[in-house]
């Protein structure tokens, strides 16, 4: 778990990850990552220690936001 947390910390610090959390029921998690290249994101998540240990698999889903609640703070890059 420590290695996975370090993985998350690294990519939050770089600005690549925007939000993450556990699924309910706790059978996995979700990470919101930003990027234009799906192959780049796939390569990035393949470096997650959970993925490398074979205890997690990633399913990538592209999302184009069309609305955003005012409750969400937005900062331009």
| Domain residue limits, the chain | 1-77
* The predicted structure's pLDDT at residue 62: 93
- CA pseudo-torsion sign 8, 12, 17, 19: positive
Q: Are 20 and 8 in contact (CB under 8 A)?
A: yes
Q: What is the CATH number of domain 1-77?
A: 3.30.70.1060
Q: Are 16 and 44 in contact (CB under 8 A)?
A: yes
Instruction: Assess whether pLDDT exceeds 70 at residue 30.
Output: yes
Q: What is the pTM of this model?
A: 0.84
Q: Are 68 and 62 in contact (CB under 8 A)?
A: no
Q: What is the rounded average pLDDT of the residues 35-41?
A: 91
Instruction: Assess whether pLDDT exceeds 80 at residue 55.
Output: yes
């Amino acid at each position: 778990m420590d290695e996975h947390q370090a993985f998350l910390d690294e990519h939050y610090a770089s600005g690549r990850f925007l939000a993450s959390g556990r699924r309910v029921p706790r059978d996995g998690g979700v990470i919101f990552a930003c990027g234009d290249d799906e192959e780049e994101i796939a390569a990035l998540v393949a470096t997650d220690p959970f993925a490398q240990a074979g205890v997690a698999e990633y399913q990538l889903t592209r999302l184009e936001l069309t609305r955003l609640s005012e409750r969400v703070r937005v900062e331009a890059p």
